[in-house]
Amino acid sequence: MLKEKVQVQNLTKSFGDLLVLDNISFNVKESEFLVIVGPTGCGKTTFLNSLTRIIDINSGSIKLDGENVDPRKHDLAYILQEYSTFPWLNVEQNIAYGLKIKGMKKDLIEERVEEAIAMVNLEKHRKYYPGELSASMLQRVVIARAFATKPDLLLMDEPYGQLDLNLKYKLEDELLKLWEQTKTTIVFITHNIEEAVYLSDRILVMTNKPTKVKTELINDLPRPRKVSSPDFVELRNKVTELIKWW
Ligand SMILES: Nc1ncnc2c1ncn2[C@@H]1O[C@H](COP(=O)(O)OP(=O)(O)OP(=O)(O)O)[C@@H](O)[C@H]1O
């Protein structure tokens, strides 16, 4: 039995009179790939900001490994839609940045950077600056930087939302490979139902605001998944029916 890594209990958040997150509870198991899907404006960002304590919540709790989540204590890695590389740092330096901030020793930083560069096949581009890299390479730098910290939890908010389809598929496959290798616990938020079915172990479907967990679906389709297989299409249609925010 895998242990519960994240426990969200009765999480409620409002801005003034606007109730955004309405008594949300769910758990994430260690090494699980959880995908959250929900309508635009349902409070994804509010949820991520609550998790990382950027904003205060009204009530409830978010626990990581049994303790109240605390970015100073826990290693939380974020991958967002915007490429958040530092243009004045090269690939190696970008990957090392978060490790330096954590005060890690130089030897360990070098080891982690090497490992991460190899994981995403950026050996030949280690001295390149972001302005010299393609979109796919930039995304790999961001991924490498996140995995280099060996995070307790990796949070991904629509990371591939703006990429063209072929590139998106390629990066999704790379992400799955890294996830399988590292057994990282991932919470991935998306509007894209096909992406949710392709990636997830479990899908959490959220309602419109005030947002609650509408339902959850276990996704045990065998990997690698084929988007055209009947089982895939059936699950995709099921999630689509459940969401129907349009
Ligand atoms: N600081 C704030 N003050 C007031 N209202 C806010 C604040 N932050 C978010 N909101 C409101 O909370 C609701 C949820 O916003 P949030 O940005 O979390 O949604 P989202 O699901 O991330 O949106 P999208 O799907 O567009 O990315 C919105 O109605 C938004 O206007």
Over residues 132-161, mean pLDDT:
91
Statement: residue 15 has pLDDT above 90: yes
82 alpha carbon – ligand 1 mean position (Å): 17
Q: Are residues 162 and 63 in the same domain?
A: yes
40 lines ligand 1 (CB under 6 A): yes
Do residues 170 and 211 share a domain?
A: yes
Question: What pTM was computed for the model?
Answer: 0.93
Here the CATH number for the domain that contains residue 168 is 3.40.50.300
Q: Please tell me whether residues 169 and 54 are part of one structural domain.
A: yes
Mark whether 241 and 190 lie in a shared domain: yes
Q: Stretch 35-50: mean pLDDT, rounded?
A: 88
Indicate if 180 and 58 belong to the same structural domain.
yes
Mean pLDDT of the chain: 92
Same-domain status, 5 and 63: yes
Cα(34) to ligand 1 centroid in Å equals 21
Neighbours of 27 (CB within 10 A): 14
State ipTM: 0.94
Whether residues 23 and 87 share a domain: the answer is no
Quick one: pLDDT band at residue 45, thresholds 50, 70, 90? confident
Minimum-distance ligand 1 atom for the alpha carbon of 47: 18
Q: Is the pLDDT of residue 37 over 90?
A: yes
Closest residue (by CA) to atom 17 of ligand 1?
Answer: 45
pLDDT exceeds cutoff 90 at 245: no
Count up the domains in the chain and report the number: 2
* 116 and 54, same domain (yes or no): no
The reported pLDDT for the residue numbered 124 is 97
Say whether pLDDT at 64 is over 90.
yes
CA 71 to ligand 1 center in whole angstroms: 22
Whether residue 101 sits in one domain with residue 157: no
The reply to whether 147 and 159 lie within a common domain is no
Task: Tell me the residue range of the domain where 114 lies.
Answer: 82-151
pLDDT band at 106 (very low <50, low <70, confident <90, very high): very high
DSSP the chain: -PPEEEEEEEEEEEETTEEEEEEEEEEEETT-EEEEE--TTSSHHHHHHHHTTSS--SEEEEEETTEE--TTTS-EEEE-SS----TTS-HHHHHHHHHHHTT--HHHHHHHHHHHHHHTT-GGGTT--GGGS-HHHHHHHHHHHHHHT--SEEEEESTTTTS-HHHHHHHHHHHHHHHHHH---EEEEES-HHHHHHH-SEEEEE-SSSB-EEEEEE----SS--TTSHHHHHHHHHHHHHH---
For residue 21, the Cα-to-chain-centroid distance in whole angstroms is: 19
61/166 same-domain check = yes
* Pair 51, 161 in one domain: yes
State the Cα–Cα distance between residues 89 and 110, nearest whole angstrom: 15
